[in-house]
Structure 1
Amino acid sequence: MAEKMTGAEMVVQALADQGVEHIFGYPGGAALPIYDAMFQQEKVQHILVRHEQGATHMAEGYARSTGKPGVVLVTSGPGATNAVTGLTDALLDSIPLVCITAQVPTNLIGSDAFQECDTVGITRSCTKHNYLVKSVKDLPRIMHEAFHIATTGRPGPVVIDIPKDVQFAVGEYIRPDLENFRHASYQPKVEGDLDAITAAVDLMLRAERPVFYTGGGVINSGPEASKHLRELAEITGFPVTSTLMGLGAFPASNPQWLGMLGMHGSYEANLAMHDCDLMINIGARFDDRITGRIDAFSPGSRKIHVDIDPSSINKNVVIDIPVIGDCGLVMEEMIRIWRSRTNQPRTEAIAPWWEQIKKWRAVNSFGFKNSETTIKPQYAIQRLYEATKGKDVYITTEVGQHQMWAAQHFHFEEPNRWMTSGGLGTMGYGLPAAVGVQVAHPDALVIDIAGEASVQMTMQEMSTAAQYRLPIKIFILNNERMGMVRQWQDLLHGGRYAHSYAESLPDFVKLAEAYGGKGIRCENPAELDAAIQEMLDYPGPVLFDVIVEKDENCLPMIPSGKPHNEIILPDTADIGSIIDEKGKMLV
């Protein structure tokens, strides 16, 4: 039955009907009717952020760790524009968000009214879809369409821009049949073409040097997809690697795991990608951090690409067999077809391939020279991993060297435990994302592995953590440098460190205390384990300032634009030996 209510009440009711439990936002004049309606109910809890970018990253962390859409509420003008970075981040990493932005009254749109901006125009290129609601009659349909679009097909962010007069207007709200909800024109293809899947399995049955190249699409598909990936790897015997976004879909402890691939991926993963005769891409998009130089990328292989987004097929790399569909459903069908042909992995046929992989693995490309006097950043993450092993732990990161070290040295057994900014590389992502994860999992251990430069971009969200008593742990690898920038300045700019040093860092211990949390500082390797335990034992938010080696390089590394077989390894990585006096690459 239809109910009469205001547009603002419709927004809140639609959120409740969609099963939304938490919304991240910041009020403003144009959004006050919605906030007033929010105040008068208890089904949806509002988390007050300190900056709208923080709200979007919190929603991303919430979505990535739960598989549910993250929801954001901001006001018009700067409220909407501050959310753009997070929306773009969610678009590139395929994270389902619904962002409700308030707008000035419809009669003032286009008049340069106070806090007016063209939100739909601004967000057109950084959302999966967006709406300007012109009538309260359309609002219920749009609200539910937005959730459908954000969460189906390739997930992504959707913006709903609601003028203030539409929020005040009264209309009829009809609860939809959400189980059978369909959009007239948006109907993503989820079941892969059977002939294409059969052709893919035929190639897999003949391959001698195969590799599974997996991505965030496996995680987005849901927990069943990760189970199917594990079964597919088991019945084929093929090695498995992953992009940064796909970590956890396949267990790091499994002997078939090659580690992450790409610019800072493992030697064995990158060489396997380069030398394979069959690449099975499941839920990844061939981005530049993975492919390196396109014309030298996996030059002798046949390529299968499973992706729910048709626009990703042949976008960067030419594919032999494209399969458009949901990763989980396609892998389930692959398993069925494989088992109809054979019940055995191709152990004997690919034995020489595994022997070659073992030789590459023996290089120990994530190795480093430890120190008894200075904390190496890799060692810090290793000790953090050992201290948290077996706990209900979720990891977020900022962006930079620490992010890559975390991907290399913190090992994930399950999906949805690793939240990081991949495609956009957004500094400041990790702290608010940790807040969002902790809201979703109040009893879990949530740790942001951070850099001292990146974490300062959204440091104000420590206040949000304190207000809601969220015990997030911020594990700062403090090298007093913008580490990745400094590393590239070594590589390409002759060691001219233009503005990559932080000469006026805060006292993070005092800063934590100022926000109502706990601050810890450690610079002695012998004291690190005890300090980590102190961080874990504290029942509130912690800023842990780990003083690490200042000039450590993040290796291995494939220089930008180089093929996988020109990877720089730790034991050969004297930066001065690979550039000339003008900063030109010698390899």
Structure 2
Amino acid sequence: MIKAPLTWPIRYHRGWTVAQTAVRILAEAGVRRAYTVPGESFLELLDVLQLQRSISLITTRHEAGAAFMAEAEGKLRDVPALVLGSKGPGIANLAIGVHTAYQDETPMIVILGETASNLLKYSGPSDPDLTGMFSSFVKWAGKARSATDVPKLLVEAINAARTGRRGPAVLAVPSDFWVAPFDQSLADPDLAMRTGTLHRSADEVAALLADSKYPVVIAGGRARWARDELVMTAEHLGFAVYNAFRRQDAFPETHERYAGHLGIGIPARQLDALERADLVLCLGTRLDEVTTQNWRYPLPSQTLVMVGTGPADARRGGLTFRVASEVEPFLRELRSVAAPRTRRSSAANAAVHTFMTPPDTRDSVLVHPADVVRTVRRHAPEDTIVTNDASAFAGFVHRYWCFTAARSQLGPANGAMGYAVPAAVAAKLAEPERTVFAMVGDGAALMTGQEIETAVRYRVPIIVIVFQNGVYGTMAMHQARTHGRLAGVTLPAVDFAAWARGLGAAGYMVEDPQELEPTISRALRHQRPVLIDVRTDPDVITPETRLSELYHGDRSG
């Protein structure tokens, strides 16, 4: 989604502080929320944000929750949100959300509060370099050396975060700079969105398509913003479309050209179209370990075309072409120059997709995770936003939700735990008219689940589903396969429903499969946050796997 250029220059008023100037720049750039645990190193900035009508200040319970919220909003809107971290431990707590933004190519602005400039000289050798500690997983990092540097550096940070490969931009500012006067004007700061240049024309890709028998597309996060164009192009050119890992809303899963989700533990038959492809077009996606199915695809014999504005992926054995462009203009041009294909690429459109083939759960004593997802999907509105956490339970969300609406999935491709609940809060703040479900395991629920109180405080009616099976599922599966026993992965039962009620939300527990449907229906009628604690069978570890089948020895632990 390309944003129109902003109107500049901003009219600055004499007597404005650096904080007032910075907030005006953020507002003009489209930032709508700032997430933080308040800190003394940016007191003036907090005060100005509180008075700025177009930017909401959201106080969270933990900096990790604040960073996940900013990441989720950036992923949902394609416009960066702001996250503020106070000096010391507060900044370190942001790291997981900043890393998620970097790996998931999400725009984010991170402002780090530093010690006052006149005290920096007293910093000892053990004091961390605030920007340096983020340097390996941010797109841009800067540090203000004087108060007048701050506005210019902030413009640079915004441009870096939202152009080319999206990502987090980090700016460190000493606490006393915010109150300093700023009477200068910025020389026409450029905050326009840039599209990139077509290094290889669509004509060349059209020629490759004309010569191919089985072209396949892998659609990633940037393809979300070209969804309608992708659908028309797939119909025009007849290729199969896969969605990259946790990007299942890039292309509707009920479309006849949909080939599957390149996730974890997918059925082998879903890879048929990719296996036989002779041309693979990757649209706005990284070729990460999961999407490539443990680095197997694209095969060396397959021609690869990478379309996107990010840096080139690592070298591979096969022939590779790169197009430096946003996905939507590239597809529009490709569709205008490529001839309609009479040969239709094998897309598994005649096959039955996994969400249509539920498992037999009639003998389940506890609630089957597949039934949880399918029941919610049946009752929730079509445009519901689903946030999911990392762990084995998420495989049921990927398998059985069936994503058909645009911008309906928020999941951390980097595998960060603790993402779902904060992400749901941000999603509901950004899209208040849409229903939002957070799907989370019992392991991650107590990492950042306290942000339910944030949802209560800001009157954000999210619905949280806790899949409670008493085990860190992914690690238990690996341990059972490798050692035949478990170590350090079992969890005691927690009354999450009572815990949620203590935070001010509604809380329900579901132990009997018959209770599931009426409880979900009841939750959807609430106008406040709801948590449903669903007791699931720990043996049902993935859609394909039973934990008990993996043991080959001692089951202690």
Given the two structures, how large is their TM-score scaled by the length of structure 1? 0.86
The 1:281–1:531 alpha-carbon spacing in structure 2 relative to 1, beyond 3 Å, is: same
Q: CA deviation at 1:361?
A: 4.5
User: What's the counterpart of residue 59 of structure 1?
Assistant: 70
Report the Cα offset of residue 451 of structure 1: 0.6
Q: In the alignment, residue 511 of structure 1 is paired with which amino acid?
A: W
Establish whether residue 48 from structure 1 lines up as the match of residue 59 from structure 2: yes
- Unaligned 5+ segments in structure 1 are 556-569
Give the C-alpha shift of residue 509 in structure 1: 1.3
* Contact preservation (8 Å) 2:280, 2:298: no
Task: Read off the aligned partner of 1:97 and give its amino acid letter.
Answer: M
Asked if 1:473 is matched to 2:463, the reply is yes
Structure of higher RCO (CA pairs closer than 8 Å, 6+ residues apart): 1
Alpha-carbon distance in 2 for matches of 1:176, 1:484 = 53
Three-state SS of the structure 2 residue aligned to 1:545 is strand
Counterpart amino acid of residue 389 in structure 2: E
- For residues 61 and 382 of structure 1, the distance between their equivalents in structure 2, rounded to whole angstroms, comes to 24
SS in 2 for 1:171: coil
Q: Distance in 2 between matches of 1:244 and 1:295?
A: 14
CA 1:332–1:73: 2 relative to 1, 3 Å: same
Q: State the distance in 2 between where 1:420 and 1:254 align.
A: 22
Q: Structure 1, residues 104-126: CA drift from partner, whole Å, max 9, x if none? A: 01232253379963211111112
Contact 1:471–1:540 (CA<8 Å) still a contact in 2? yes
Residue 509 in structure 1 maps to residue 493 in structure 2: no
Instruction: Give, in angstroms, the shift of residue 469 of structure 1.
Output: 1.1
8 A contact 1:10–1:173 mirrored in 2: no
User: Which SS does the other structure have where 2:433 is aligned?
Assistant: coil
Is the contact between residue 274 and residue 299 of structure 1 (CA under 8 Å) also seen in structure 2?
A: no
Q: Structure 1 or 2: larger helix share?
A: 1
Q: Which amino acid aligns with 1:409?
A: Y
Per the TM alignment, residue 201 of structure 1 is displaced from its structure 2 partner at its CA by: 1.6
**Aligned: 1:3 with 2:9:** no
Deviation at 1:536, TM superposition (A): 0.9
The answer as to whether partners of 1:28 and 1:74 remain within 8 angstroms in 2 is: yes
User: What SS does the corresponding residue of 1:369 show, helix, strand or coil?
Assistant: coil
Is 1:531 matched up with 2:519?
yes
Question: Which of the residues 214, 217, 220 maps onto 2:219?
Answer: 214
Q: Does the 8 Å contact 1:258/1:268 carry over to 2?
A: no
Matching residue of 2:7 = none
State the one-letter code of the partner of 1:386.
Answer: R
In the alignment, structure 2 segments of 5+ residues that lack a partner are: 1-10
Cα deviation code 1:336-374 (max 9, x no counterpart): 111xxx3x3333x64xx45xx468658889642312533
* Partner SS, residue 400 of structure 1: coil
Q: Work out whether residues 366 and 408 of structure 1, in 8 Å CA contact, stay in contact via their aligned partners in 2.
A: no
- Identify the residue that residue 385 of structure 1 maps to in structure 2: 377
| Cα distance in 1 between the residues matched to 2:126 and 2:434 | 39
Counterpart in the other structure of 1:246: 247
Q: What is the deviation of 1:19?
A: 3.1
The amino acid that maps onto 1:272 is A
The residue that corresponds to 1:396 in the other structure is 387
Contact 1:137 1:172 in 2 (8 A): no
Aligned partner letter, 1:489 = Q
Is 2:487 the partner of 1:498? yes
**Cα distance change of structure 1 residues 181 and 75 upon mapping to structure 2, 3 Å threshold:** same
Partner of 2:304: 303
TM-score (normalised: structure 2): 0.91
In the alignment, the residues of structure 2 paired with residue 363 and residue 545 of structure 1 have an alpha-carbon distance, to the nearest angstrom, of 26
Distance in 2, Cα, partners of 1:173 & 1:317: 53
Report the equivalent of 2:105: 94
Provide the C-alpha distance between the structure 2 equivalents of 1:289 and 1:389, rounded to a whole number of angstroms: 29
Match of 2:157 in 1: 146
Distance 2:430 2:296 in 1: 43
Aligned partner of 1:498: which letter? A
CA contact (8 A) 1:378 1:405 kept: yes
Residue 260 of structure 2 contacts residue 353 of structure 2 at CA under 8 Å; is this kept in 1? no
The answer as to 2:157 corresponding to 1:161 is no
* The one of 331, 334, 341 aligned to 1:345: 341
Give CA deviations for 1:392-422 in whole Å, capped at 9, x if unaligned. Answer: 4111111112222112111222332110111
C-alpha distance in 1 between matches for 2:52 and 2:297: 58
- 1:297-376 pair list within 5 angstroms: 298-312=299-313, 314-315=314-315, 318-338=318-338, 342=339, 344-347=340-343, 350=345, 353=346, 357=348, 361=352, 367-372=358-363, 373-376=365-368
Counterpart residue type for residue 396 of structure 1: T
Quick check: 2:80–2:108 contact (8 Å CA) kept in 1? yes
The amino acid of 1:62's aligned partner reads E
What amino acid does structure 1 have at the position aligned with 2:86?
A: T
Q: Where in structure 2 are the equivalents of 1:101-140 lying within 5 Å? A: 101-109=112-120, 111-112=122-123, 117-140=128-151
Q: For residues 416 and 200 of structure 2, what CA distance do their matches in structure 1 show?
A: 39
CA gap 1:285/1:20 in 2 versus in 1, 3 angstroms: closer
Partners in 2 of 1:113 and 1:35 — Cα distance? 28
Alignment length, in residue pairs?
543
Partner of 2:20, secondary structure, is helix
SS in structure 1 of the partner of residue 312 of structure 2? helix
In 1: Cα distance, 2:46 partner to 2:412 partner: 30
**Matched residue type, 1:410:** W
Q: 1:29 to 1:113 in 2, by over 3 A?
A: farther
Contact 2:222–2:284 at 8 Å: present in 1 too?
yes
Aligned equivalents of 2:206, 2:91: Cα separation in 1: 47
| Aligned equivalent of 2:422 | 432
Q: 1:248 to 1:40 in 2, by over 3 A?
A: closer
The question of whether the paired residues in 2 share the 8 Å contact of 1:267 and 1:363 is answered with no
What is the identity, as a one-letter code, of the residue corresponding to 1:536?
Answer: L
Equivalent position of 2:446 in the other structure? 456
The 8 Å contact of residues 108 and 169 in structure 2, kept in 1 or not, is answered as yes
* Distance in 1, Cα, partners of 2:44 & 2:355: 59
Partner of 1:566: none
Over aligned residue pairs, what C-alpha RMSD do you find? 2.7
- In the aligned structure 1, how far is the partner of 2:160 from the partner of 2:353? 46
| Structure-2 change in CA distance of 1:36 and 1:293 (3 Å) | closer
State the identity %: 25
Report deviation, 1:431: 0.5
**Code of the aligned partner of 1:345:** R
Check conservation: 2:540, 2:546, Cα contact below 8 A: no
